[in-house]
Structure 1
């Protein structure tokens, strides 16, 4: 008939007129017309009627002071207060996308308050997305992207269940630039601390350094133990230069290590030959020692060509078969770490306009 009185007030069922009259009938049957409830009657009605003591007591008082069973009614009030403002989806879609990048703009375009627009966003009537600017692709670029993804399919699986190659024989090579600091840095301090005093010569020319990283797919044995973590190495692009001026740290003309001012094709070749190739030969699993190893890189102008003679000579030392392969042009999403992206590329016929799929690896591990 009703839920327990200890239930949440907002989620509790309301008593109908029929429920209240049934409770009153139980009270009359057990107490009679006496104006005062006898001992034990209230508790027995609460137990058998599955309702609260306050509800039973209130019904008894109302009927005795208001005229019996005819005084029982439902006092539930209708909805009061300001009415909820709905958001016109068609009006929202009529606003040019470039003019609804903030809640303020959307509110102005719909002639609504910012708080109302924000509430509709929280209720998932609208959604906020990050729109990424992507490289423009020609038809030749799209064909090359699809061909690249198809080449990564396992030939023996094409008829029944197409799957991608395991890519255990590929090393992904890429560069990353890091700045020494940021123009604005957020931090958490106590009330007794002062904010650090940070300085530099010019805020638009913060010192930066580029790193070259090489990694492959990790491998595990039948018991799930990692036998090769795939970490080939990370190297900073630096140069030894002579100091032009005397300072407290060094004298004039002394050699010091500085971040490389520029990285060209010769510098890239130098690092691959001196660092990447020796690291691969040292860390590569012995089980694949005599198989071909592919170093995959993007199509930056400063990268080493696949037929570079110096690289080929150094890569072949020790009987190794190490080759360089390039990703399709304008395709940063085609690295060997994103096989899920390759599926989307095939589905969208080489286009870049697709939602990046999430593998939910954390859930899979759990």
Structure 2
């Protein structure tokens, strides 16, 4: 006999009852019947006693004796099923992130992620792989390669520190030797709005009441005014002087942007001991701008929690979100920018690649998150060969000379 609690079928249980009843005479059992039953059916005597007790209870109630297995089986939690019709009724802004969509559906993030993994839900992106000309590919490749240099401590290529590069209103956070954030990388946010009097009366306000309106026409003069009178003064006031005063502001190729040679601009950015320059990112290259790579996306996910109803509330929500956004999230986006640069180099300037994932959260927890990414020496060599074959440009000479020097040291 075994000490393991048996899981007897209904048939076996009732056979045991019939065996016992065959020894049941005039309201009593013959001595040793339960022991014989235990031996006959290979179970412990306590099991026989329990079965006989249940049978007697039914007999006393005048019921026909029939025992069933009352042991509950393994009850598995049923997975919630995805309801596509319910999902369609949720507003787009409420399903812009996994967290928000899961909340809207009343399920956990893990459940929503399981639906996504099962391809019942797919991520929608309006990003379009734009067809690039050969010249545009070369400019993208050159832009990436100019961002790398030889790290003499390991004799390998590495991306140059981007601590001095400002993407208009974003900046990589700066930490001191003790790991304390001495500059969170956030300069300011500047809403393009104006106060205009209401043309007509309504239930909400009388005619002539000042209303906040978005500036719909962002001209070059408007952009220059914001940059000279808002961005640069704030940048100078917030910049940690321990990091030097040479700063590069990267802007995209939108028409309102102006040249770094503008006389009025140069007078402002060359004063107070600062040396600030503008840098243009390659055309048709949103993957080379931290705004498009994740900054706006991270900001939007926070801003949407505020659910603004008008322009004033929207401005307040965005500014509040800007303050709430953690500096480390901005670090992550700049590392994503360097990852994209590596992919662009591998594609020889093309944009036909998937956004890389390097598990930054995991690396951060393990204390292994890099400040800047390394670039494989062979990849740099292949890109240089590709660029030389296409037509050498003087802008690539520093990288070529560094590569030649590095190869000479390794021989």
Q: TM-score, normalised by structure 1?
A: 0.52
* Shift in Å, 1:317: 2.0
1:345 matched to 2:344: yes
Q: Is the 8 A contact 2:6 2:43 kept in 1?
A: no
Q: Is the 8 A contact 1:220 1:228 kept in 2?
A: yes
Q: Is the 8 A contact 1:237 1:259 kept in 2?
A: yes
Q: Is the 8 A contact 2:165 2:249 kept in 1?
A: yes
* Shift in Å, 1:129: 7.1
- Distance of 2:146 and 2:178 partners within structure 1: 31
* Shift in Å, 1:223: 2.4
Mind listing any 5+ residue stretches in structure 2 that lack a counterpart? 8-34, 49-114, 291-333, 366-411
State the match for 1:259 in structure 2: 214
- Distance of 2:116 and 2:272 partners within structure 1: 62
Q: Evaluate the alpha carbon distance shift between residue 310 and residue 122 of structure 1 in structure 2; reply closer, same or farther with a 3 A threshold.
A: closer
- Distance of 2:184 and 2:344 partners within structure 1: 28
- Distance of 1:147 and 1:158 partners within structure 2: 25
* Shift in Å, 1:124: 6.7
- Distance of 1:361 and 1:284 partners within structure 2: 26
Greater relative contact order (CA < 8 Å, ≥ 6 in sequence): 2
After TM superposition, list the pairs within 5 Å mapping 1:109-258 onto structure 2.
132-156=127-151, 160-173=155-168, 214-245=169-200, 249=205, 252=208, 257-258=212-213
* Shift in Å, 1:257: 4.2
* Shift in Å, 1:136: 1.6
* Shift in Å, 1:251: 5.1
- Distance of 2:343 and 2:232 partners within structure 1: 33
State the match for 1:307 in structure 2: 261
How many residue pairs match? The answer is: 222
- Distance of 1:277 and 1:309 partners within structure 2: 15
Q: Root-mean-square deviation (CA), in Å?
A: 3.7
- Distance of 2:215 and 2:226 partners within structure 1: 12
Mind listing any 5+ residue stretches in structure 1 that lack a counterpart? 8-33, 45-52, 55-120, 174-213
Describe the superposition over 1:248-301 as per-residue Cα deviations: whole angstroms up to 9, x where unpaired: 74554x7654321211111111110111000100000120243x1000011111
SS at match of 2:137: helix
SS at match of 1:231: coil
- Distance of 1:6 and 1:341 partners within structure 2: 62
Q: TM-score, normalised by structure 2?
A: 0.47
* Shift in Å, 1:302: 1.4
Structure with the higher helix share, 1 or 2? 2
- Distance of 2:197 and 2:38 partners within structure 1: 103
* Shift in Å, 1:226: 1.1
Describe the superposition over 1:322-361 as per-residue Cα deviations: whole angstroms up to 9, x where unpaired: 1100111100101252111001000111111111012322
Q: Evaluate the alpha carbon distance shift between residue 157 and residue 301 of structure 1 in structure 2; reply closer, same or farther with a 3 A threshold.
A: farther
State the match for 2:284 in structure 1: 330
* Shift in Å, 1:222: 2.4
* Shift in Å, 1:130: 5.5
